[in-house]
Structure 1
Amino acid sequence: MEMKNQLHYLPDELIIQILLRLPVKSLVHFKCVCKSWFSIISDTYFTNSHFQLTAATHTHRALLISTVKPHVTRSIDLEASLDDDSAASVSLKPPYYSLPCNAIKGSCRGFILFLHGYRSFFLWNPSTGLHKKIPLSPYNLDHMYPNYYGFGYDQSTDDYLIVSMSSNLSSSYYEFFSLRANIWKQIDEGTHIHYSTCNMKGDYRTQGSLFNGAIHWFAHRLDLEKNVIFAFDLTERKLLDMNLPDEFGAKLHYGGLWVFQEFLSLSGGNYYNGTVEIWVMKEYKQHSSWTKTHVLPTDAIPYRYFCPLTSTKSGDIVGTDLLPGFVKYNDEGQLVWHHSYSILRDEYLVTMYIESLLSLPGDNVQA
């Protein structure tokens, strides 16, 4: 009996290493196994270590929400074969059902930012169900409709920031909400520069693209009368902009910002010749490093529309069409598969996220 008990004993260090490699869904259930496992899985160091390992070894998941039927929500593993829908996707229940069109405003470290009825924001971790309500800014007294939103993490202060910006020819409001301080703050630097939504046709997406500690958007700089990439540095709390590639946008009808492998990337589509261009900035903030890496054919896709979202571990490029559905190209630019979701025939929201056990600063986080 003594020998049997010894064989069943595992040191805590080994238990932690095993738990770190399990999916979030399993770990949430395993909190109920015993007090020691609950303590391990709830520990901040463990949740951060688990997220770092997951981000490095797993592909991002796609969240797909119908705007007509918000309870129809799917989390999709884009690494899996979408032909087996039961294995590739799971149904989720968002904390709020009334989601207006274009309500997803950002994604960071497993949390997704929604704008709820233009009255408040809320953050939701689809993996754990945790969510938190955030009030709108009190500074925009004229109630200008914000042009740009973003959500990101400042590692230097262990803080999450929600960014909301409005701008036109006469006035501008640039502000962010610190979850750790639980307060909205105005951004003073750069507010003399006015931006408007990009004048490129199609879906330029006011949802910011998070990369290298900054949130990026397409924008039209009014004083220079040209399109740029407009960014907010989360650590320095500063605004900056970068020029687009010289050959980008002249004959394109729609475009988007995304992160391709380890690079800030642009995509631009042409309806008439049925192609999408992929550009990457190989050295961040270096205009001369812009490189066109792919020209993808879209003739076989309905409406000839393809908006890249992410790349898989094998280098495939995955994005959305207009149906809704997902499209995958291999690294050589060849169409691999196209999968539509008939249950989501109407307008829909989509964003990428990483599964995580992380929580947010503050006391009013709920499950």
Structure 2
Amino acid sequence: MEKKTTKLCLYLPTELIIQILLRLTVKSLIRFKSVCKTWFTLISDPNFANSHFQFPATHTRKILSLSSTTPPQIQSIDFEENLVSNFSAPLNLFKFNISNFPLQIKGSCRGFLFLCNSWKFYLWNPSTGFYKQIPLSNSCYSRYLYGFGYDGSRDDYVVVLMGYNTNVVYHTSRFEFFSLRDNKWKQIKGSHLSYKNALPNANRDIGGTILNSAIHWLAFRCDFMVDGIVAFDLMERKLLEMCLPDEIDIVPNDCGLWVSGEFLSLWAMRRHHIVDIWVMKEYKVSSSWIKTHVFPINATPYFSPIYSTKNGDIVGIDDGIGLMKYNGKGQLLGQCSFCDDPSESQVVIYTESVLSLPGDIEQV
């Protein structure tokens, strides 16, 4: 007599499935979208993507290196885990096949890169492969300061431009921003001030540093003949000014803004390859600048800090062709190379996400 077999159907409530998926990495979520239609729908839902982004442990902050090849290629480096010795592990490689011209990275926010050339602007999520082209501004200047950030009060992504001309002694800058929610460019009210890039030897238009829902640039105010920091508040949609540390009267050639932990920071390299690092302990309070690091960089003639790890180590760009990691005392902990020519590559800090934008197009 044959025994009857009973198939046991396992059932998990949708709410429990969502809670499990929320705790997976971005790489796993991208792969699991092909498991079934239900999971594809769940993972593709904008509300799920926003909730997933609120779990910091599920997505990794990485350094992306963009080549100027056609089509552009982007290498991904997980410096928290891998940059502990001479880097030899294979790099993740993303390809952006839409543009026929070299691109530059002008910003990174919530998993999206702001890419541009003279003819087109793109917002692109390398993890998902989706991108959105945004219209160019009508302004026409010889140089720009760029910015890209997120306004959480409006659930809005914002691209910011400050245009100025370099062939005049005194000029008026033009600040404007593009709101994805409004789908149009607007000029910032009261922005008829005379700003330009404070870095005297900058050979390209630079992107701003984002912190506390504001984008920051080192800027020279021509009417007052003074260097400082100008910031655009993404929620208030207005400009702010901050002073540099008292020790810095004039911005040196090798100098820049970055985010150290939760603080706005400034680095400057002086003679004999010594790097000084200041941290603004109380945001927007100029008197709160303190010098936190003074250490020699003996292994390279140039070092530009871009990120501080969870244990306080400092990762920076080595002469534009590689990355180096130092501890707080200036001891070299690790290094890796990502290109042979500093003019052929750019780097940016990138946080993985499965977020999407209205009107996204899947990369082909």
Spell out the pairing of 1:48-63 with structure 2 (5 A cutoff): 48-54=50-56, 58-63=59-64
Secondary structure of 1:307's match? strand
Spell out the pairing of 1:48-197 with structure 2 (5 A cutoff): 48-54=50-56, 58-68=59-69, 70-82=71-83, 83=86, 85-87=88-90, 89-100=91-102, 103-116=104-117, 118-138=118-138, 140=139, 143-167=140-164, 169-189=170-190, 191-197=191-197
1:230 counterpart letter in structure 2: V
- Give the corresponding residue for 1:280: 279
Distance 1:176 1:20, change over 3 A: same
Q: CA deviation at 1:37?
A: 0.9
2:362 to 354, 357, 366: 366
Mapped partners of 1:26, 1:344: distance in 2: 34
Mapped partners of 2:214, 2:329: distance in 1: 30
Mapped partners of 2:203, 2:8: distance in 1: 62
Whether 1:247 aligns to 2:247 is yes
Per-residue deviation, residues 177-230 of structure 1 (Å, max 9, x unmatched):
0111111111122x2321011144457972110110100001001121111101
Secondary structure of 1:152's match? strand
Mapped partners of 2:97, 2:33: distance in 1: 22
| Equivalent residues of 2:218, 2:257 under 8 A apart | yes
Mapped partners of 1:121, 1:254: distance in 2: 28
Q: CA deviation at 1:70?
A: 4.9
Identity %: 50
2:89 counterpart letter in structure 1: S
Q: CA deviation at 1:50?
A: 1.2
Considering only aligned residues, what root-mean-square deviation do their CA atoms show, in Å?
2.4
1:283 counterpart letter in structure 2: E
Q: CA deviation at 1:345?
A: 6.5
| Equivalent residues of 2:70, 2:102 under 8 A apart | no
Mapped partners of 1:123, 1:158: distance in 2: 16
Mapped partners of 1:253, 1:232: distance in 2: 24
Distance 1:213 1:72, change over 3 A: closer
Mapped partners of 1:295, 1:260: distance in 2: 15
Q: CA deviation at 1:231?
A: 0.5
- Give the corresponding residue for 2:11: 9
2:257 counterpart letter in structure 1: L
1:322 to 319, 339, 354: 319
Distance 1:96 1:350, change over 3 A: farther
| Equivalent residues of 1:124, 1:132 under 8 A apart | yes
- Give the corresponding residue for 1:224: 224
2:159 counterpart letter in structure 1: I
Mapped partners of 1:212, 1:233: distance in 2: 9
